[in-house]
Amino acid sequence: MISFESDYTTGAHPKILQRLAETNREAMPGYGSDPYCKSAAEKIRAACECPEAQVFFLAGGTQTNAVVISSLLQEYEGVIAAKTGHISLHEAGAIENTGHKVIELPQAEGKLEASSVKNLLEQFYQDENHEHMVFPGMVYLSHPTEYGTLYTKKELTAISEVCRQYQIPLFMDGARLGYGLMSKSTDLTLADIARICDVFYIGGTKVGALCGEAVVFTNTSMPKHFLNHVKRHGALLAKGRLLGIQFDTLFTEGLYFEISRHAIEMAEQLKKLFKEKGYRFYLESPTNQQFFILENEKLELLKEKVRFGFWEKYDEKNTVVRFATSWSTTMEDLQYLREIL
Amino acid sequence: MISFESDYTTGAHPKILQRLAETNREAMPGYGSDPYCKSAAEKIRAACECPEAQVFFLAGGTQTNAVVISSLLQEYEGVIAAKTGHISLHEAGAIENTGHKVIELPQAEGKLEASSVKNLLEQFYQDENHEHMVFPGMVYLSHPTEYGTLYTKKELTAISEVCRQYQIPLFMDGARLGYGLMSKSTDLTLADIARICDVFYIGGTKVGALCGEAVVFTNTSMPKHFLNHVKRHGALLAKGRLLGIQFDTLFTEGLYFEISRHAIEMAEQLKKLFKEKGYRFYLESPTNQQFFILENEKLELLKEKVRFGFWEKYDEKNTVVRFATSWSTTMEDLQYLREIL
Amino acid sequence: MISFESDYTTGAHPKILQRLAETNREAMPGYGSDPYCKSAAEKIRAACECPEAQVFFLAGGTQTNAVVISSLLQEYEGVIAAKTGHISLHEAGAIENTGHKVIELPQAEGKLEASSVKNLLEQFYQDENHEHMVFPGMVYLSHPTEYGTLYTKKELTAISEVCRQYQIPLFMDGARLGYGLMSKSTDLTLADIARICDVFYIGGTKVGALCGEAVVFTNTSMPKHFLNHVKRHGALLAKGRLLGIQFDTLFTEGLYFEISRHAIEMAEQLKKLFKEKGYRFYLESPTNQQFFILENEKLELLKEKVRFGFWEKYDEKNTVVRFATSWSTTMEDLQYLREIL
Amino acid sequence: MISFESDYTTGAHPKILQRLAETNREAMPGYGSDPYCKSAAEKIRAACECPEAQVFFLAGGTQTNAVVISSLLQEYEGVIAAKTGHISLHEAGAIENTGHKVIELPQAEGKLEASSVKNLLEQFYQDENHEHMVFPGMVYLSHPTEYGTLYTKKELTAISEVCRQYQIPLFMDGARLGYGLMSKSTDLTLADIARICDVFYIGGTKVGALCGEAVVFTNTSMPKHFLNHVKRHGALLAKGRLLGIQFDTLFTEGLYFEISRHAIEMAEQLKKLFKEKGYRFYLESPTNQQFFILENEKLELLKEKVRFGFWEKYDEKNTVVRFATSWSTTMEDLQYLREIL
C-alpha cells in the first residue's frame, strides 16, 4: 500500500546511508566533538550567511524545543506560542515539564500575528499585577506551521521587531524548514531567517534524515554551557557522529534543498490531482503537507488503498485529512493515487 | 592513530547499516509502532525468557535513566545509587532535573552492597523524622559498573531481595550489558537478570548500534502511559524504526552476543598485553573496559600514538587511564598497540 | 484613608488574635501535629458533614493550589481551568513550576461550563494523537470565582458528573469560600460542596485569618504521604499551631460564617450605594467583591480619598475597578464612602 | 509536662503578639509592600551595617532555602552542602524538587571545611568530563549547624574566599542565627556575616516569631524579579504584614538579640545541670541545642516527665537526645528538670 501518511514514514535519503557506511570505521570522539559535526556546522553557517552562528545538533523536535526554550528562559518566564503550536498541543507538556508556561495566543491558519504578540506584551507590562504573572520571555513559532502555511518576510519581520522592542528572543521551530524554503510562494531565504530570528532549527528528521535537528543560534545567543543543558535533558548522543554525518551530507552540494524541492514538486502534483478530481481543500498550503476535506464514506474507501493522516473532524459527514510528501515520494506513487481517486 | 578511547568511537556493526539500507524505502508508522520495533521486542522477550516483559526503545543512556526513574518514582521518592554511579556523577544532574534526589551510597569497585542498601532502608523507616526526608523509592545499579566490574548472581539476588522486602523496584543500567553477559567470569545470564530485576536496559549505543537502548520491564511493571512519559521528556523519535531495526538486527542470530564476545576477547588480549609488559592494573575488570596506572611521562609518550581515556589522577606521578574495546577492535589494532608498548 | 482595596488589607479577626495570645505558652509538637490542628480538623469535618474527610492546613492560596494539584496529578497529566482562573493567570506559573500544564478553557463571568469540560475530555479521548498530548487529569475551579460570581448547585453538580464519568478529581479553590456560602443568592451549602467536590479548600487568609487555608479531601482521596508533598514544596510550617489555632477559632461558634456574613452585608450596602449614585456595574456579583465601571476622571478624583483595586481597562475613557469588603469593613466606612461618591 | 523538645514548641514572644494586635486594623497593601516590611528591612540593613542590602521576608526555612537556591543557581548548577546539612537530609528533597542537585560533602560536627570545598571545585574544573557533571554553583552552610556548632570568623572567611575565587555565592542558612550571634564562644557579628556571605537569612520561626525568615542579599545580589520567584514557589503571603510586623518588632530595641541571649543563658544552665549530674555530651555545642547520650532505660524514665528530641541511636544501649531552649524557657523549667534528673 502506498503511504502519504507523513514525511517520516520512510528511512533516510540514500546519500545519508551511504555516508554513514563510508565513515563507519573512522574512530571519532563522542558527544558532538567529532569532525563531521564541526564540518556540518561550518556548512550550515555558510548556508545561513551567518558566520558567527553557533550550531548544535539534537535528535528530535520536541527535545530541541524543550532544551532550547528552557535554556533560554529565565525561571520566571514563559514562552508565547500559537494555540495550535506544536509545543502547545502535541508535545505532551514537554515545555511545562521544564517548569515553563506556554502562553497561548489565537492564530490564523497556524500563524501568530505580530499585533497579537505586541498586544499581549503591552498589556502584560501595563498590568499592575504583572509580578503575579508569568513573564512572556520568548516567542515560539513554527515555519512551516502545523498547517503547512508560511510566514511572509514582512510578517516574520514584524514579529521580530516586537521581540526586539521587548528584548526577548524569537525562536523558529523549523522541523520542516526545508519545505518552507523551497515552497514556490515563499519570499524568505535561509539567510533571511538567520537574520530575523535569534534561534531556529533546521529539521532533519522530517526532511530526509534518520533523525536530527540542527539548532542555530544566530547572534552568539547560545546559552552558556549549552552542552550541559543538553546533557541534563538526556539529549546528548554518545555517537554524536550520527547527527554530524547526516547534516554534513545534507549540507553538501545542496542535498537538503534538493530533498525539499522534490517533496514540494510532489506536493504540487498532489494538489493538482485533488483539484482536478474536485476535492475540497481545508486550507491553501504551499508546502509538503496538504489538507483535504473528505466525505466520511469516501475516506473509508480510500484508506483501504492508501495511508494518510486523519487531522480532525470537519463536521458530522466530513473529515479533514492530511497528505504529506517527502524525499521518497515518487511519480509512481502519484500515478497510483490518481488511479485510486 | 588507533583508538581505545571508548566503545562508542566508531559507527555501527555493518549488519546494522545493511539492514537500515535494506528497509529504507519501507513506509512505516512512526513513534515506535513500526513492525521492526514489534519484532525486536518479541526477540528480546525470547532472549530474556520473559514472555510477559514490556520492551521500549529509547535513544541514549542518560535519557533512559531519566525517563525510567522519573516515571517509576512517586513524586516524594528518590533513587538509591552508588556514589560512583553514572546517574550520580556523569549525567549532569539529569535525575535531579526530573525533581528526584539521587541518594548516594558508598561503593566497592563501583558496586553497591546489599547490606548497605538494607541498612539505609532500615534506618530510614526507623527515623522518627522520615516524613521530612526523601523516601528511598528505587535502587539503581549499573552492570557492568562504571569500573567494568560485575555483580555475581548472589550479590545481585541479595540486592533484589532487599528491594522486594521493601517493595521498591530494582533498576539495572545495562548500557554495556552485553560485555557483562559475555564476560568469562560472570554467572549471570540475560534470563537471570530479567528474573532478578524489575526493569533494566540492554545498551545498544555502546554495543554496536548507532544509538539506542532497549528498556525491559520484566513484570508488567511498565508505568501507565509510558509513551506519554517518553514524549514529554523529548525522548520519542519520530522515526522509531531507527531503533527498531537496529535492535531487531542485534537480536537476530545472536549478533548482540557475538559483538559483545568479540570485544571481550579483544579485552582479554589487551589485558595479556599489558600484563606481559609489566603495567599495573588499577583494578581487575572482567569486561571490555580496562584500567591501568601509567606514569605521567609514559602517558605523554603513549598518547602521541594511541587514543585512550584519562580516568583520574592516581598520585603525583601516575594517572589512571581507560582502554576500551568494541565491535570494531581488531587484532591489527592490538598488534600495533603491542609494538607501541 | 479608607480602603476597599481587597479583603486582605487588615489583620485577623480579633478573636483569632485573642486565641493566639491565650495559647501562646502552651508547648506543642510542630508541623501540624498539635492538638489545635486536630481539633480544627474535627470541627471542619463536622461543618462539612463529612466524617471521613481528611483535612490539612497550609499557609496561602497559590501554595495550596500547587501542592494539591501536583500531588494529585500523574506526571503526564494537566489540570483543566478557566482562562481567567487564578492558577491560569495570577500565580506566576506556580502550577507549571511543578511540571504540569494548565489546560485553559473559555469561561463566562469567571465560570467554567460543564459542557465545555465534557467537550474537551471527549475530544481528547477521540483524538488519535492523544498520547502526544497532555492528559486532562483534574478540574480546577474557584468559588467564588475571580469575578465574585458563584456556581449554582446544578452547575457544580454537572461539572462533577463529568469528572466522575472520566474519573478525574474536581478541585475547588475556596480562597473566598465563606463569601460564597453566605451569599444571599447561593443554593450551595458547605456539606453540598464536600459531597460534590473531591477536594477543596476553605480560605482563611481572605476570610479573617492572618494566613491559612484548610484543604479538605472529601473521600479519603488525600495522596499518600501528603505531608511529604507539603514539605518538599517548602509549605510545612514548623509552628503548625499558627494555622491550627486560627482554624479552630474560625470553626468555633460559627465565626467563619459570621465573618463572611458580615462582609456580604457590607457588600450589599456597597452595591446599593453605587446603584443609588448611578454607577455602572461591570457584572452582577453576589459576593464580597464588586466590580464597577468608572470614568477615568472620576477614578482619579476618587482615588485621592479611598483605596480600591484597578481591575482592567474597560475602554479608552473607562476603567473597571474592584471594591471588596471584609471582616473589618464598618458602617462608618460605607457612610464615608457615600459622602465621597 | 515541661518541654525541651525544640525551639518552636511555643508561640511567639509576647511583644510580637502585642504589635500584631496594635496594628491589626491598619489597612495595608499586600504581598510585602506594606510599611512594616519596609521598616523591618531598614532596621535589618542597619543591624547588618549593610546599607545596600536587599531584604525579603518568607514564611519558613525549607521554603527560603528552595526559593533562594533555585533563584540564584543557573539551570545546570547544583549547591554544595554538608552531608548533614538541612537541605541534604531533612527537607524532603525540596532542592531537588527545583531541579538542582545537592552536592554533598563530608563534615565535622556539622561544619563544612574550606579545604574540602576548594578541593571539590579544583577537581571539578580539572576533570575532563566536567561538562557531563553538575556545576558546583553555590555553597550552602547553616550557622549554627544542625548540631548546634558554630563557624569561627576564620573558618567562614576561608570558605568565603574559596567562593569568591570561583565566583559562586556563599549562602548561610540562619534558621537559628540569633543563637549563633549570642553564643559566648562566637567571634562573628551580624555585620561580619553580612560582609562575608552573599546571602543569608535571619531565622524568625525558631527565634521567637510565629513564622518568618528574613532573607538578606548583601551585595545587590538579589535575583531579578525575586518577587516573581517567590510567587511561583507559592511562598508569597497575601498578608505580608504578618512577616513585616514580626521582624519590625524583633529588630526594635534589640528584641531579636534579647530573645537569643535568653535562650543561650538557659542553655548554659542546662549544660551545667547535665554536667553536674554526670551525663555524657554527644558533642560540645555553644548554642541553644544540646546533645546528650542517654542510656535507653534512663531515656524511657525521663520521657515520662519531660519532652525532648530523639536524635539518633548511639549504640545498642544508648541514644543521642536533643534538648533545646528558646524565648519561653524559664528558670522554673530548669529547676523542675534538675529535680527530675
Distance between CA atoms of residues C143 and C158, nearest Å: 15
Does position A161 have pLDDT exceeding 80, yes or no? yes
Instruction: Point out the residue among A24, A236, A241 whose CB comes nearest to the CB of B14.
Output: A24
Q: Are A238 and B25 in contact (CB < 8 Å)?
A: no
Query: What local confidence, expressed as pLDDT, does residue D233 receive?
Result: 97
Nearest CA-CA distance, residue A20 and chain C, Å: 31
Residue A220: which pLDDT band, with cuts at 50, 70 and 90? confident
Query: What local confidence, expressed as pLDDT, does residue C25 receive?
Result: 97
Provide the number of CB pairs (under 8 Å) joining chain B to chain D.
53
Q: Are A62 and B242 in contact (CB < 8 Å)?
A: no
Residue D148: which pLDDT band, with cuts at 50, 70 and 90? very high
pLDDT (mean) for B181-196: 98
Nearest CA-CA distance, residue C78 and chain A, Å: 8
Does position D49 have pLDDT exceeding 80, yes or no? yes
Does position C328 have pLDDT exceeding 80, yes or no? yes
Distance between CA atoms of residues A58 and A174, nearest Å: 13
Grid coordinates standing for A59?
A: 535528535
Residue B229: which pLDDT band, with cuts at 50, 70 and 90? very high
Distance between CA atoms of residues B163 and B196, nearest Å: 10
Buried b (16+ CB within 10 A) or exposed e, B251-263: beeebbbbbbbbb
Q: Are D17 and C14 in contact (CB < 8 Å)?
A: no
Does position D220 have pLDDT exceeding 80, yes or no? no
Neighbours of C105 (CB within 10 A): 20
Beta bridge partners of C14: none
Please indicate if any CB of chain B lies within 8 Å of the CB of C25.
no
Per-residue CA distances from D267 to C36, D112, D288, D309 (Å): 29, 24, 5, 15
Please indicate if any CB of chain A lies within 8 Å of the CB of D132.
yes
Please indicate if any CB of chain A lies within 8 Å of the CB of D56.
no
What is the enclosing helix (H) or strand (E) of B290?
strand B289-295
pLDDT (mean) for B71-85: 97
Buried b (16+ CB within 10 A) or exposed e, A146-155: bbbbbbeeeb
Chain A residue at shortest CA distance from B13: A24
Nearest CA-CA distance, residue A134 and chain C, Å: 4
Please indicate if any CB of chain D lies within 8 Å of the CB of C22.
no
Grid coordinates standing for B299?
A: 602517558
Query: Of C166, C154, C167, C161, which is closest to residue C221 (Cα–Cα)?
Result: C167
3-state secondary structure of B91: coil
C208-223 pLDDT, tens digit per residue, is 999 999 999 998 789 9
Chains with ≥3 Cβ pairs under 8 A against D? A, B, C
Query: What local confidence, expressed as pLDDT, does residue A154 receive?
Result: 98
Chains with ≥3 Cβ pairs under 8 A against B? A, C, D
Query: What local confidence, expressed as pLDDT, does residue A10 receive?
Result: 98
Nearest CA-CA distance, residue C122 and chain B, Å: 18
**Neighbouring C-alpha atoms within 13 Å toward the C-beta of C88:** 23
C143-168 pLDDT, tens digit per residue, is 999 999 999 999 999 999 999 999 99
A226-279 pLDDT, tens digit per residue, is 999 999 999 999 999 999 999 999 999 999 999 999 999 999 999 999 999 999
Residue B220: which pLDDT band, with cuts at 50, 70 and 90? confident
pTM score > 0.95 for this model?
yes
From chain D residues 214-253, the ones with a CB under 8 A of any chain C CB are 228, 231-239, 241-242
ipTM of the complex: 0.97
Grid coordinates standing for D140?
A: 550552602
B289-320 pLDDT, tens digit per residue, is 999 999 999 999 999 999 999 998 899 999 99
D279-305 pLDDT, tens digit per residue, is 999 999 999 999 999 999 999 999 999
Q: Are C97 and A99 in contact (CB < 8 Å)?
A: yes
Chains with ≥3 Cβ pairs under 8 A against A? B, C, D
pLDDT (mean) for D29-54: 97
Instruction: Point out the residue among C76, C99, C228 whose CB comes nearest to the CB of B76.
Output: C228
Beta bridge partners of B111: B108
Instruction: Point out the residue among A74, A99, A132 whose CB comes nearest to the CB of D231.
Output: A132
Residue D1: which pLDDT band, with cuts at 50, 70 and 90? confident
Query: Of A254, A256, A246, A258, which is closest to residue A40 (Cα–Cα)?
Result: A246
pLDDT (mean) for B141-170: 98
User: Residue written as cell 528526584?
Assistant: B100
Task: Using an 8 Å CB-CB cutoff, list chain B residues near A11.
Answer: 20, 23-26, 239, 241-242
Instruction: Point out the residue among A92, A99, A131 whose CB comes nearest to the CB of C133.
Output: A92
Query: What local confidence, expressed as pLDDT, does residue B110 receive?
Result: 96
From chain C residues 133-162, the ones with a CB under 8 A of any chain D CB are none
Query: What local confidence, expressed as pLDDT, does residue A266 receive?
Result: 98
Please indicate if any CB of chain B lies within 8 Å of the CB of A102.
no
Distance between CA atoms of residues C215 and D331, nearest Å: 40
Preferred mutation among A56, A67, A75, A168 to probe D, highest tally of D CBs within 10 A: A75
Query: What local confidence, expressed as pLDDT, does residue C219 receive?
Result: 86
Nearest CA-CA distance, residue B242 and chain A, Å: 7
Chain B residue at shortest CA distance from A15: B21
Please indicate if any CB of chain A lies within 8 Å of the CB of C97.
yes
Query: What local confidence, expressed as pLDDT, does residue C284 receive?
Result: 93
Q: Are B100 and D96 in contact (CB < 8 Å)?
A: yes
Preferred mutation among B101, B307, B310 to probe D, highest tally of D CBs within 10 A: B101
- Give residue D159's identity as a one-letter amino acid code: I
Grid coordinates standing for A142?
A: 513554527
Does position D177 have pLDDT exceeding 80, yes or no? yes
What percent of chain D clears pLDDT 70, i.e. is strictly above it? 100
Q: Are A232 and B91 in contact (CB < 8 Å)?
A: yes
Nearest CA-CA distance, residue C49 and chain A, Å: 36
pLDDT (mean) for C31-39: 98
pLDDT (mean) for B123-143: 94
Query: What local confidence, expressed as pLDDT, does residue D333 receive?
Result: 96
Instruction: Point out the residue among C93, C99, C133 whose CB comes nearest to the CB of A97.
Output: C99
Please indicate if any CB of chain B lies within 8 Å of the CB of A99.
no
Q: Are C91 and D210 in contact (CB < 8 Å)?
A: no
Distance between CA atoms of residues B182 and B160, nearest Å: 22
User: Residue written as cell 532550547?
Assistant: A68
Per-residue CA distances from A102 to A80, C73, D111 (Å): 6, 19, 43
**Neighbouring C-alpha atoms within 13 Å toward the C-beta of D131:** 14
Neighbours of C52 (CB within 10 A): 9
